[in-house]
Amino acid sequence: MITSLNQQVLIKLDQEIQKALNEVAARHGISIKSSGGGKFSTTNAELKVRISVVRNGQVLSAEEENFKRFCSSYGLKPEHLGRVFPLRGDSYTVIGLNVRNYKLPILAKNNTSGMIYKFTPQTILQKLNQIPEEDTDFDEPA
């Protein structure tokens, strides 16, 4: 019996909750993931859950959907999603768009570390050889 909530208790509960979510997801052909974060006190907790449609075996994230929907507003094209570009000796894959981040809205995953970084649209266009290269702006992990 749980009488008080703390980080360790919530981590264990999250694992059990994810197992139950996986069963529901499998039954309905969707993806349901505990997305981390949330708030808690010793007596209450809020956990975040992301539900996504699965198409052709792939989960379409909100960031991917945003990229497809709004990329033209940033001078990009839908076909830039999933493209790989080099930067500072590493390769990155364009994975989405965070419409809430005005300065660095483009998300790309480092193909070596798996970490997600934020970029300007100009940097992406430069690295995909769409415009001449100047300074490239990106911020450490998203």
Burial of 112 (0-12, 13-18, 19+ CB in 10 A): exposed
Question: What's the pLDDT at 129?
Answer: 81
Question: What's the pLDDT at 58?
Answer: 82
Question: What's the pLDDT at 19?
Answer: 95
For the whole model, what pTM was predicted? 0.65
Taking 70 as the pLDDT cut, the residues of the chain under it are 36-37, 130-142
- Give the CA count within 13 Å in the CB-facing half-sphere of 6: 3
- Phi and psi at residue 112, in whole multiples of 5°? -95, -50
Question: What's the pLDDT at 55?
Answer: 83
Ordered by start, the domain boundaries in the chain are 7-56, 62-139
Question: What's the pLDDT at 108?
Answer: 96
Mean pLDDT value across the chain:
89
Question: What's the pLDDT at 78?
Answer: 96
Question: What's the pLDDT at 130?
Answer: 63
Question: What's the pLDDT at 132?
Answer: 58
